[in-house]
Chain A
């Protein structure tokens, strides 16, 4: 009976994984398919021969390495900026009582209600006079602004999971509030910081709308915008587009591998009685 349930569970997991990962598989499959087989062989699960020509073209002849570099800068910049700011905001929301706190929190939620398309024009008009249009810094500023509210709430909920008594104990043990934050709270916040970094990095990595509108010069494009350049007048160059997209998956994959151990919860276990 037990093995039956176990087997059924694995079957469900397998079905889910197949469903979730199939598009990814298809992406890689097409990126490896030679151009001449792409249409002739149709939708066979694996092409009769494979090639790395799409990858060599993307890396050596297309401007994609530059796009990657831009995207890494913008995504990392956004992730770090948002996480630092959200760490401060979340801490204040969690630990301090101040006038207008509730109003401020509601206001942050409200900013999330507007469709992004609505704010593009005003945003452009705001950024243009101060020279932030068509710059990577401009993108970082805009992404940071839009990701900050959610990240602040995420951080807030992680802070709420850490008992106040821990800081109080530390402050009695000789810490200032800031020392208690750095020595006691920060190590316990690593899962929250990891989650926030990961969330914001991914969001910024694949952002298209603002990058498309705010960046015009070829040397500052992010890869999401760059992908569109494979859509030509005469048709879409699927193989190269998929090769570029496959490469674009690598940085987030590396990033998540690095932070994944902090994403595992349970670090606060044993601090207080549950």
Chain B
């Protein structure tokens, strides 16, 4: 059993605090992804778990053992680096077997484990080559093979796909996912790419400025972002975020934003939101569509807008609308007709997909999803 527990973990560099009171329980065999913009502390946190950075405060446990003061070699972890970090003077076989040789395992065992990992990763024909004679994708595989062979408690990945081109990145992403299904081990994976986070993770940890913004499943992070930051970071194209105010509207309350019609709030979801409050309105591009090609919506509300730009992407298209001074993105799946910039088009927005955040703190104002039924 190798769960990883982080308790109030802190990292300081002189006066600068890179990681603030990081608390997280990672379950045995769980695939957890740390995601966030560069400088958010995700790599630092990973490197503290690896033992490559000292921790300035708090406690880290791997498999119920406190590892705060253990050197990396004593933590029984493997790490895949962004730049692969293959030993250039060793063949693929020697690279993969290095950890086992250091552990003084018998030759036959090393041979057998290296062969098994190489088979799994399709590296068998390259075993005698030096890293210099391999392509980027192959080097990436060798780095993963080196990690697997040691049969560690925890796999750590530090932006492993960032140096690959887009096509290869997609392929390797799928391979990592398949690999985790075959080699069940706890995985902590750092990336700035929210697509990698969404596709790979059992749980996503969204970080910002050294703090955790949200820890949840990819589904929850996407559908119920805990803050305006998470809402804007997860999802591509990003959620439309519009500065707005709540106003009393007959019996209920609606949201008023320049250029938009009044958007009535569902009291079941926004019961605790009072009138006359500065809020940020969040609408995913998928929740907005021209009326003539809109699918079924739970709570449609019609409005008119000008299409200023169309980006056709084949199976889908992005429409850019001018609403007040904001530019709003709408995402249309399988557009049925040719789309072009056009004035005064009838649109619908699904109010059931509305997110509200406090304009000051950025905190989510929607009632928790479990409370709605």
Residues of chain A having any CB pair with chain B under 8 Å:
163, 165-166, 168-176, 179, 184, 187-188, 267-273
Counting CB contacts under 8 A, is B329 at the interface?
Answer: no
Which of B51, B89, B150 counts the most A-chain CB atoms under 10 A from its CB? B89
B85 A271 Cβ-Cβ under 8 A: yes
Question: Looking at the complex, which one of A163, A172, A184 makes contact with B78 (CB distance below 8 Å)?
Answer: A172
Question: Looking at the complex, which one of A165, A170, A171 makes contact with B83 (CB distance below 8 Å)?
Answer: A165
100-123 of chain B: CB within 8 A of chain A: 102-103
Q: Number of B residues whose C-beta is below 8 Å from A?
A: 32
A272 B83 Cβ-Cβ under 8 A: yes
Which of A165, A174, A267 counts the most B-chain CB atoms under 10 A from its CB? A174
A270 B50 Cβ-Cβ under 8 A: no
Chain B residues with CB below 8 A from A184, complex form = 87
- The 9 A-B pairs at the shortest CB distance, nearest first, are namely A270-B132, A174-B102, A272-B83, A270-B131, A165-B85, A173-B99, A271-B88, A169-B85, A269-B132
Mind listing 29 A-B residue pairs with CB under 8 Å?
A: A166-B87, A168-B52, A168-B81, A168-B85, A170-B98, A171-B51, A171-B72, A171-B73, A172-B72, A172-B73, A172-B77, A173-B98, A173-B102, A173-B146, A179-B102, A188-B89, A268-B88, A269-B132, A270-B86, A270-B88, A270-B130, A270-B132, A271-B85, A271-B88, A272-B86, A273-B83, A273-B84, A273-B136, A273-B163
Complex Cα distance, B89 from A176, in Å, reads: 19
B139 A270 Cβ-Cβ under 8 A: yes
A165 B81 Cβ-Cβ under 8 A: yes
Counting CB contacts under 8 A, is B302 at the interface?
Answer: no
A271-B81 contact, Cβ under 8 Å, with A173-B102, A174-B99: no
Q: How many interface contacts (CB-CB < 8 Å) are there between A and B? A: 85
Nearest residue in B to A169 (C-beta to C-beta)?
B85
Chain A residues with CB below 8 A from B98, complex form = 170, 173
Chain B residues with CB below 8 A from A174, complex form = 73, 99, 102-103
B88 A171 Cβ-Cβ under 8 A: no
Question: Looking at the complex, which one of B71, B87, B131, B134 makes contact with A171 (CB distance below 8 Å)?
Answer: B71
Nearest residue in A to B87 (C-beta to C-beta)?
A184
Question: Looking at the complex, which one of A170, A172, A175, A269 makes contact with B88 (CB distance below 8 Å)?
Answer: A269
A270-B134 contact, Cβ under 8 Å, with A172-B72, A173-B146: yes
Counting CB contacts under 8 A, is B318 at the interface?
Answer: no
Question: Looking at the complex, which one of B73, B89, B150 makes contact with A175 (CB distance below 8 Å)?
Answer: B73
A271-B71 contact, Cβ under 8 Å, with A172-B50, A173-B102: no
Given contacts A176-B73, A271-B131, 19 further A-B contacts (CB under 8 A): A163-B85, A165-B81, A166-B85, A169-B87, A170-B87, A171-B71, A171-B73, A172-B52, A172-B75, A172-B79, A173-B73, A174-B99, A187-B89, A270-B134, A270-B139, A271-B86, A272-B85, A273-B84, A273-B136
Nearest residue in A to B74 (C-beta to C-beta)?
A174
Counting CB contacts under 8 A, is B298 at the interface?
Answer: no
A173 B131 Cβ-Cβ under 8 A: no
What's the least CB distance linking B339 to chain A, in Å?
40
Nearest residue in B to A273 (C-beta to C-beta)?
B163
Chain A residues with CB below 8 A from B371, complex form = none
Chain B residues with CB below 8 A from A166, complex form = 85, 87-88
What's the least CB distance linking B59 to chain A, in Å?
20
Counting CB contacts under 8 A, is B166 at the interface?
Answer: no
What's the least CB distance linking B230 to chain A, in Å?
30
Complex Cα distance, B87 from A267, in Å, reads: 11
Question: Looking at the complex, which one of B83, B99, B131 makes contact with A163 (CB distance below 8 Å)?
Answer: B83
